A and B are shown apart, each in its own frame.
Chain A
Amino acid sequence: MAFFQTKSAVSKSTHKHVVDPALQPWVEKYRPKTIDDVSAQEHTVAVLRKTLTSTNLPHMLFYGPPGTGKTSTILALSRQLFGPDNFRNRVLELNASDERGISIVREKIKSFARQTPRAQAVASDGKEYPCPPYKIIILDEADSMTQDAQGALRRIMETYARITRFCLVCNYVTRWHSFRVLPLSVTAFNRIIEPLASRCSKFRFTPLDSASSTSRLTYIAHAERIQVDAAVIDALISTSSGDLRRAITYLQSASRLSSSTTPPTPITPADIQEIAGVVPDPVVQDFALVLGIDIGSMIVDEPERTNSFAPIQRKVKALMREGYSASQLITQLHDLIVLHPTLNAREKSKCALVLAEADKALCDGADEELWILEVALRVHKAVST
């Protein structure tokens, strides 16, 4: 039974069941087909290209922030190694949506790992594939595996190293800041355990520079025949901060929205901001003004020190009614304060302290309204003394 499930899981990851390409997320549609298509990770790609010619592969650990091409790289690499026909019985892909407790490691992974690789099927598309005599197990989002499950992998990785290679994909080898950790989640702080990490050769994926993001996004826009100007691409890159998947998803959403109206409207940078859930700049500036931060407008009215509480409380309540996300608001307020031309270093540091505390509190699941109010009051105090 386990074997049957293995196969079905794999067949989904290849294009076995046919999906209407128009309905596919562009992230899937434009996944790199070969490792040479992978954007911006020159160093990693150079090393992996060697393995294509020598057909020898170590165990691998891919790590880096989301949307930098980790999963795409390993999928493209294994497709190039095995070709579409052998891909199904040579590659096992498991991710966080599959149950990956210790029992799965013991049964499913172990049984797949111990199989002798099947004979190479003749490639139906007439191309030559290296098809080396081993299988690949891809453990995507490996940092969400339990410690026990990782422990059980240790020996399996060594015993079957001759016929099976592992590729672990995770966000951070130590992970504290990429995820908001919710309270109550039992396995909040697990990560790749040291014995597993030391068995693998590590590949670090860096956030994409804007040049390669731009070229990829324009390529996709061109292929989908949508009009985007430079300002939109800039907005995409600035809102997604090096995460190409996010940028592509935003682009797709924006094009959906623009093409669904009649007549189709061109995409504007404001659309991108709305889709990305960014709080509009005027709203943030208005908030800052209430806090007593001078935002360079002509009217500089000294706010009355004595009764500043009521207006701030009212403003915070209004913001919460608009439904803006607290963490997003704090991020943008942070940008505004840090880049502010006239606040002095001391005031900025005080504000930074408050914002940091608020971010931690929100990660711990604190009440949003209370903490936005807290930030507002303390920032106000910091800038008005």
Chain B
Amino acid sequence: MSLWVDMYRPRALDDLHYHQGLSARLKSLAASGDFPHMLFYGPSGAGKKTRITCTLRQLFGPGVEKLKIDQRVFLSPSKRKIEVNIVQSNFHIEITPSEAGNYDRVVIQELLKEIAQTQQVDLNAKQRFKVVIINEADSLSRDAQAALRRTMEKYMSNMRIILCANSTSRLIAPIKSRCLLMRVAAPDNTEMQTVLTHVSRRAGFDLPPDAAQEIIQDSGGNLRKAILVLEALKMQSPDLSGPLTIAKPDWETYCQKVANLIVTEQTPARVMEIRTKFYELLSHCIPPTVILKTVAEAVVSQVDETLKAEIMHWAAFYEVRMRIGSKKIYHLEAWVVKVMSLYKQSFYQFDISEFE
């Protein structure tokens, strides 16, 4: 049995619940026979991937759903082996080049050329081209993106590329200019409500509006999260009535705890305590940026108005340093110490002004 997210995922463009304009565009593009390279971008859980698979189905028919998973080995110029997982059907192939880390360029060069230089042999295929889906395109290295440039123009007759990314900021301009940009915004609250009601009806129960509202508030525009939460809640209390407690992920409560620690006491001893907590989070593979953002937001909600802007400023400042530097914990700690000193300063100044 699969999760509801997968089970009730729309499979054709007509089944999609929101962004009707986008669906209509995709449909007419797929029908026109003149299908361009595309770049889907938007926040996670907005439905980029669903739209891509629906478009593929529209292009090639149900054959695209027969998937097989392969593992391919590539050789880097220095003869190092790089293993990459590939999901493919007869008509398309899906890769996540960021799996190969720094060697993503090799994967792009070899795989794309191989696909580009072979023509579609299946005479019954609806289209003469194959589609390559590149996931997490915004984490492609600059070299890999450069390698895509000419390939996208030269082999247009045999291959179309669909890029899937969270943001276009990190893609180089030449790639963006070769693609048709498709922005997939997160659904708004009423749209989410429709989808959740639809899912619950398909699963065979009625969703109380209060519960739906609560789930929507919690998910923050991430539909995948919303549906997962819905399923979890349904497992907890089958009738979905009464006060619902949406269980927060462990790491989120942990981050909240860290924020409380910062606000309640500002001493070196406390920094040491927080340090162990940070290590704990990092060792559970929570991305440092996420930690910093969550803790910062939690701290900001508890402090005085005048401090909020400062705290976010330093969060942004140390976040960049964290990216450039190599040891994440230093920068997390530096931020904590900074916030503590700011807090203490403002606290005492406030006190003094009171006494005067």
Q: Do A and B bind each other?
A: yes
- Please report the C-alpha to C-alpha distance between residue A369 and residue B77 in the assembled complex, in whole angstroms: 37
Q: Sort chain A's interface into a size bin.
A: 35 or more
B201 at the interface (CB under 8 A from A): no
B308 at the interface (CB under 8 A from A): yes
Cβ A373 vs Cβ B316 within 8 A? yes
A306 at the interface (CB under 8 A from B): yes
- Please report the C-alpha to C-alpha distance between residue A159 and residue B135 in the assembled complex, in whole angstroms: 45
- Please report the C-alpha to C-alpha distance between residue A370 and residue B220 in the assembled complex, in whole angstroms: 16
Question: In this complex, what residue of A is CB-closest to B41?
Answer: A323
Question: Which residues 95-112 of A have a CB within 8 angstroms of B?
Answer: 95-99, 101, 103
- Chain A positions within 8 Å of B148 at CB level: 97
Question: How far in angstroms is the closest Cβ of chain A from B266?
Answer: 21
B247 at the interface (CB under 8 A from A): no
A353 at the interface (CB under 8 A from B): no
- Chain A positions within 8 Å of B220 at CB level: 317, 321
Stretch from B89-97, B177-185, B343-351 at the A interface: B177-185
Question: Which residues 73-95 of A have a CB within 8 angstroms of B?
Answer: 95
A302 at the interface (CB under 8 A from B): no
B283 at the interface (CB under 8 A from A): no
Q: A243-B177, A323-B186, A370-B312 are in contact. Are A144 and B169 (CB under 8 A)?
A: no
Residues of B bordering A, CB below 8 Å: 24-25, 28-29, 31-34, 36, 41-43, 46, 77, 102, 109, 112-113, 140-143, 146-151, 153-154, 156-157, 167-174, 176-178, 180-181, 183-186, 220-221, 289, 293, 296, 300, 305, 308-309, 312-313, 315-317, 319-320, 323-324
- Please report the C-alpha to C-alpha distance between residue A140 and residue B141 in the assembled complex, in whole angstroms: 19
- Chain A positions within 8 Å of B168 at CB level: 277, 325, 327-328
Cβ A257 vs Cβ B185 within 8 A? no
Cβ B293 vs Cβ A277 within 8 A? no
- Chain A positions within 8 Å of B112 at CB level: 97
Residues of A bordering B, CB below 8 Å: 12-13, 17, 19-20, 22-25, 27-28, 66-67, 95-99, 101, 103, 140-141, 144, 178-188, 240, 243, 245-246, 249-250, 252-253, 256-257, 259-262, 274-277, 306-307, 309, 313, 317, 320-328, 361-362, 364-371, 373-374, 377-378, 381
Question: In this complex, what residue of B is CB-closest to A171?
Answer: B174
- Chain B positions within 8 Å of A95 at CB level: 149-150
- Give the residue of B24, B143, B183 whose beta carbon is less than 8 angstroms from that of A277: B183
- Give the residue of B32, B147, B296 whose beta carbon is less than 8 angstroms from that of A97: B147
- Chain A positions within 8 Å of B317 at CB level: 374
- Give the residue of B33, B102, B169 whose beta carbon is less than 8 angstroms from that of A362: B169
Additional A-B contacts beyond A249-B178, A377-B309 (13; CB < 8 A): A12-B154, A20-B157, A256-B180, A277-B168, A277-B181, A277-B183, A321-B221, A322-B183, A323-B46, A327-B168, A367-B293, A373-B316, A374-B312
Question: How far in angstroms is the closest Cβ of chain B from A185?
Answer: 4
Mostly helix, strand, loop or mixed at chain B's interface?
helix
Cβ A364 vs Cβ B323 within 8 A? yes
- Please report the C-alpha to C-alpha distance between residue A144 and residue B108 in the assembled complex, in whole angstroms: 15
- Chain B positions within 8 Å of A98 at CB level: 109
Cβ A179 vs Cβ B142 within 8 A? yes
Cβ A13 vs Cβ B309 within 8 A? no
- Give the residue of A25, A181, A274, A276 whose beta carbon is less than 8 angstroms from that of B156: A25
- Chain A positions within 8 Å of B32 at CB level: 256, 259-260
Question: In this complex, what residue of B is CB-closest to A140?
Answer: B150
Question: How far in angstroms is the closest Cβ of chain B from A224?
Answer: 12
Q: A101-B77, A373-B316, A378-B313 are in contact. Are A182 and B46 (CB under 8 A)?
A: no
Question: In this complex, what residue of B is CB-closest to A371?
Answer: B316
Q: A323-B46, A378-B313 are in contact. Are A370 and B319 (CB under 8 A)?
A: yes
- Chain A positions within 8 Å of B156 at CB level: 19, 23-25, 28
Q: A256-B36, A328-B168, A366-B319 are in contact. Are A188 and B142 (CB under 8 A)?
A: yes
Question: In this complex, what residue of B is CB-closest to A361?
Answer: B320
Cβ A99 vs Cβ B77 within 8 A? yes
- Give the residue of A179, A240, A323, A373 whose beta carbon is less than 8 angstroms from that of B43: A323
- Give the residue of B43, B157, B323 whose beta carbon is less than 8 angstroms from that of A365: B323
Ordered by A's residue number, 21 sampled pairs between the chains whose C-beta atoms are within 8 Å are A17-B157, A19-B156, A24-B156, A28-B153, A97-B147, A97-B154, A103-B77, A141-B150, A180-B142, A180-B169, A181-B142, A182-B142, A261-B24, A309-B308, A321-B185, A325-B168, A327-B169, A367-B316, A371-B316, A374-B317, A381-B309
Cβ A377 vs Cβ B147 within 8 A? no
Question: In this complex, what residue of B is CB-closest to A101?
Answer: B77
- Chain A positions within 8 Å of B319 at CB level: 366-367, 370-371
- Give the residue of A96, A307, A365, A370 whose beta carbon is less than 8 angstroms from that of B170: A365
Cβ B149 vs Cβ A97 within 8 A? yes
